[in-house]
Structure 1
Amino acid sequence: MDNRHIVIVGGGVIGSAVAYFLAVHPRFQGRITVLERDPTYTHASSALSASSIRQQFSTALNIQMSQFGIAFLRDLHHHLSVDGELPELGLSEHGYLYLATEAGAVTLRENHEIQRAEQVDVALLNQAVLKQKFPWLNVDDLALGSLGLSGEGWFDGYALLMAFRRKARSLGVSYVQADAQDFEHDKGRVTGVRLRDGRVIKCDVAVNAAGAWARPLLAGTGFDLPVVGRKRTVFVVSSPAQTPACPLIIDPTGLWLRPEGQHWICGLPPEDDPDDAPLEADYEQFDTVWQIMANRVPAFEALRMQRAWAGYYEYHVFDQNAVIGAHPQLANLILANGFSGHGMQHAPATGRGIAELVVDGAYSSLDLSPLSAQRVLLNQPLMEKNVI
């Protein structure tokens, strides 16, 4: 049995998923400590995410991670119930709808071929079919749409985080409020995590799951992780518009929108996208958002913003894909960073994979090695085209 002490920096959905999968691994009997500087998760990306899941990616591995993710979410009661209490995510599988003008149609078709090869339940819709299926949508400038027919949608991300955390704690995982500063290491191995108050928590294995704050933790380790925090504002809007059977829509402009109860939520990547901007909603962006929404759904001309919030998008500058696996120089420091907007949906596959890597020394369920940090050092990007 494995009796090592594992310290996970970051108690968000990624860190908590790693803790859970380690705790349920049949050959792990050691200690697991999760360090989280803000147990209220006020600024945590997990708590501020729009929380959706899709299989419409451009890389097979991301598709496979989402396929495990949706299966896990569908069976969440089996995995994460505690003392008979069942977590409720409000999982809605209404699909994603990617829209493309003629300029983007080729990429949409290329992605479709990759998705169908991985058995994704997705259909390409021409302009006429889009107009028939979604009569409330303006399709005049569109050439094609890609609609997920099953296995895609949205859910309560904060509820998922809390379910992972609660289950992990019930299995003996310790959550400690602490602000990690860096990793102590000697002779090619991490020996502990140094906190800002000067204390050091010794460990046999460390996991960096610190989200948008992951890069500074590695400053003294010899690896500059190209992951930054990019602010994204989410707007909640109301309207007398009717959008029956509305999926999560990705407009060619980059704007996304989806229903949320009696309202809709939406967002748009900013033109000026600085690193680590203050975590405040960008209300000035709403005029642009409104114009795009009213163009795509004419009934949204009558629209009112109810509220807005901002969260950090853990952006991997190199290729917009996660970095998962051992640190290039420190074999017992495991990285789980840079998910570029799809960390919530890939948390189950990441947690399972890291647990296998820590305990067994290799992946057994799904090979995540293409996401290792080595590709950064070798300048061999694994580009994900479908980044929102």
Structure 2
Amino acid sequence: MQIDTTPKLKSYDVVIIGGAMMGASVAWFLANRPDFDGTVLVVERAPDYEFSSTAHSNSCIRQQFTQPINVQVSQFGADYVHNFRQYMGGDPDVPEIHMQPFGYMYLAATAEGEQVLRAAQQMQAAEGAGTQILTRDMLAEQFPFYNLDGIRIGSHNPVDEGYFDGGCMFDWWRRKARAGGVEFINNEVTGISRSGNQVSGVVLVDGTRIGAGHVVNAAGPRAGQVAQMAGLELPVEPRKRYTFVFEAARPLDVDLPLTVDPSGVHVRSEGKYYMAGCPPFEDPAVAPDDFIEDHSLWEEKVWPAIAERIPQFEALKLIQSWVGHYAYNTLDQNAIIGAHPEVSNFMMINGFSGHGLQQAPAMGRGLAEWIATGRYETLDLSPFAFDRIPAGQPLLEQAVI
């Protein structure tokens, strides 16, 4: 699809910086509001999205978090996936999105890890999630392919947890947003104009100035750089995360839950193949265009961990691998969403730390509500407000993989 490089107007009610999953979500939910008739511009620097976090996502969804608000966010996300066509207006051209409900399986090898899983399960169950604690005997009976040496318990939820086609959702959000009047351009924001406690517009790479009633920072791993353009600091940085697709010489005869091993490696079924992932040995901030792979990671960390936990996977063939970026919130690995307290029309939807794709429906809806009405109308997302950052009061999410 051809995308213009030049905006049609000199000023917009909303300018969204970044057109990947979060930017597209905000754009669609604004376009879908009958009470919002403002002009919306989405500026995307690389509209092929080849190096976006969206393109590198493993497209999974879960409710096994340690903060109640994250459970609630993902519950709406699951409902949105299950009823995608209905949420998109009932258009018969919009496909239904299938969820592969293999569930997540967190394994604990220490007393501390067990305590975290048990406390999280109680909270998740209180929120309506289907998470269950499995003892070693229960794990051995239900999942006999695991080597349970050193494992104390597991936490498993096969209800509304698994894989879904996030790319389909992303594509239709963009299509429907355009049909609703949202303008997308292929360009880059290099500056943000600010006067006191307001931003007034953005500057494009060619020097073009565009006025804006609201500016939305939806720049993913580049969110910190965008905030600096407005004279603000945001604790969000790019962190590398690795994905490996492999074939097993002796595949399992059942779907493998997304197993989060105490080693930090996770692995799940992916059709006839399997998909694994992990952070690198060292986990510093990287340049937003650094996608260089550490090829020792597979041989030295991932393969040994997988073969140890699932002995049937001792013989594997690596098919494909890639590096993506988390938009990593260094304070508490949770989202930052809403208006900045010092600049009231600078809107943030940042720092998802690997949870962005699954949280995009609730987050895009919430920020659209805030822009249109000045408040959250459905799910209260105020726990994710920026205020906790200068206050030094983290909303710590412990279930980050």
TM-score, structure 1 length as denominator?
0.96
Partner of 2:324: 311
2:293 aligned residue (256, 267, 281) = 281
Q: Which stretch of structure 1 is more off in the superposition, 101-110 or 67-76?
A: 101-110
Partner residue of 1:64 out of 64, 72, 81? 72
Matches within 5 A, 1:1-388: 5-80=13-88, 84-87=92-95, 89-103=97-111, 104-243=113-252, 244-277=254-287, 278-287=290-299, 288-388=301-401
Q: Is the contact between residue 45 and residue 313 of structure 1 (CA under 8 Å) also seen in structure 2?
A: yes
Q: What TM-score, normalized to structure 2?
A: 0.93
> Could you tell me how far apart the structure 1 residues matched to 2:338 and 2:92 are?
34
Superposed CA offset, 1:312-366 (max 9, x none): 1110001100000111211011000000010001100001100111111111101
CA distance in 1, matches of 2:396, 2:232: 21
Give the conservation status (yes or no) of the 8 Å contact 2:77–2:358. yes
Shift of 1:187: 2.9
CA RMSD of aligned residues (A): 1.5
Amino acid in the other structure paired with 1:286: W
Give 1:83 deviation, angstroms.
Answer: 5.7
Distance 2:93 2:102 in 1: 26
Preserved contact between residue 65 and residue 398 of structure 2 (Cα < 8 Å): yes
* Amino acid in the other structure paired with 1:284: S
**What whole-Å deviation, never above 9, does each CA across 1:187-220 have from its counterpart, x for those lacking one?**
3111111112211221111100000011111114
Stretches of structure 2 that go unaligned for 5 or more consecutive residues are 1-10
Q: Distance in 2 between matches of 1:359 and 1:368?
A: 15
Equivalent AA in structure 1 for residue 101 of structure 2: E
8 Å CA contact 2:241–2:326 kept in 1: the answer is yes
Distance 2:237 2:12 in 1: 31
Letter in 2 for 1:240: A
Q: 2: CA distance between counterparts of 1:303 and 1:370? A: 43
Identity of aligned residues (%): 41
Query: Are the equivalent residues in 2 in contact too, given 1:88–1:159 (CA < 8 A)?
Result: no
Task: Please list the CA deviations of residues 219-257 of structure 1 after superposition, one character each: whole Å capped at 9, or x if unmatched.
Answer: 143321010000111111001233313211111111111
Aligned residue type for 2:368: A
Deviations 1:116-149 (A, max 9, x none): 1111111100001101111111112211000003
Please tell me whether the aligned partners of residues 82 and 98 of structure 2 are also in contact (alpha carbons under 8 angstroms): no
Checking the alignment, whether the CA contact within 8 Å between 1:87 and 1:163 is kept in structure 2 is no
Give the Cα–Cα distance (whole angstroms) in 1 for the partners of residues 210 and 162 of structure 2.
Answer: 40
CA shift, 1:94, in A, is 1.5
- Asked if the contact 1:82–1:166 (Cα under 8 Å) also holds between the matched residues in 2, the reply is no
Rounded to whole Å, the distance in 1 between the matches of 2:174 and 2:12 is 21
Q: Which moved more, 1:239-248 or 1:188-197?
A: 239-248
Instruction: Indicate conservation of the 8 Å contact 1:54/1:151, yes or no.
Output: yes
Which has the higher mean CA deviation after the structures are superposed, 205-214 or 173-182? 173-182
